[in-house]
Amino acid sequence: MKSKIQIGIAILVIVGVSYWAYTSLQTYAYTGSGIMFPVGGGHVVIRNTGDDAIPIEMRAESRTTIFRVASAELGLAESARRVGSGRDAYYAVKFDLPPGQARIDVTRGNGIQLITRSDTPVEATITPLAANTIRWILGLTAVAIVGSLYYISKALDHSWLSALRGKSVKGGLPATASR
């Protein structure tokens, strides 16, 4: 009975870690005009569906967060600048998004919002985590799943290995048909 409970806990760990990884690595899509949405610390692929450039502002959620954005398509590599003073101060990067599609990366910082102030609709797909964070989550998930599977196998005395080798669970050779 004790081993069944331990195996059940190991299975719950596998399910829990898998769910955590799935929800953490999920991408989000936004469509509309004059919208604001979170980019986090990852990247956004945004498409301007209009014929003219539209103003974009990327702003930190916190008043004290300094961040940096880059985009090869736009020739953009800028650090955020302080806007305002006192309690109303925040850090932001402002630029124009030409017609078409561009990828914008948050290369340093976290908790970034993207704001469009135009009647032209945009389509955006966001990956809110940086590449190194994604690798860390996938690595931790793999270690937890492999460790849990090994624990389950050990609790079952690795009996599945002997089945793979063509031996019976008790260690003897399987009966063969004679000719």
Q: Which residue has the higher pLDDT, 40 or 55?
A: 55
On the CB side of 66, how many CA atoms lie within 13 Å of its CA? 4
Q: Which residue has the higher pLDDT, 178 or 60?
A: 60
Cross-strand bridge partners of residue 93? 58
Tens-digit pLDDT profile for residues 97-128: 999 999 999 888 888 899 998 898 999 999 88
Burial class (CB in 10 A: 0-12, 13-18, 19+), 106: buried
DSSP assignment of 48-88 equals E-SSS-EEEEEEESSTT---EEEETTTTEEEE-EEES-GGG
Tokens representing residue 157 in the block: 């005395």
Q: Assess whether pLDDT exceeds 80 at residue 47.
A: yes
DSSP assignment of 91-119 equals EEEEEEE-SEEEEEEEEE-S-EEEEE-SS
Confidence class of residue 21 from pLDDT cuts 50, 70 and 90? Answer: very high
What distance in Å separates the CA atoms of residue 171 and residue 6, rounded to the nearest whole number?
A: 25
Q: Which residue has the higher pLDDT, 157 or 152?
A: 152
What distance in Å separates the CA atoms of residue 52 and residue 96, rounded to the nearest whole number?
A: 10
The alpha carbon of residue 20 and the mean position of all alpha carbons in its chain are separated, in whole angstroms, by 10
Q: Which residue has the higher pLDDT, 132 or 171?
A: 132
CB 61 within 8 A of CB 149: no
Tens-digit pLDDT profile for residues 48-91: 988 999 999 999 877 777 899 999 998 999 999 988 888 888 89
Mean pLDDT of 138-167: 83
User: Above pLDDT 90, what percent of the chain?
Assistant: 47
> Side chain identity at 74, as an amino acid letter?
L
Q: What's the helix, strand, coil split of the chain in %, to 5?
A: 30, 35, 35
The residue behind tokens 């986090």 is 40
Confidence class of residue 136 from pLDDT cuts 50, 70 and 90? Answer: very high
Query: For the domain bounded by 27-128, which CATH number is listed?
Result: 2.60.120
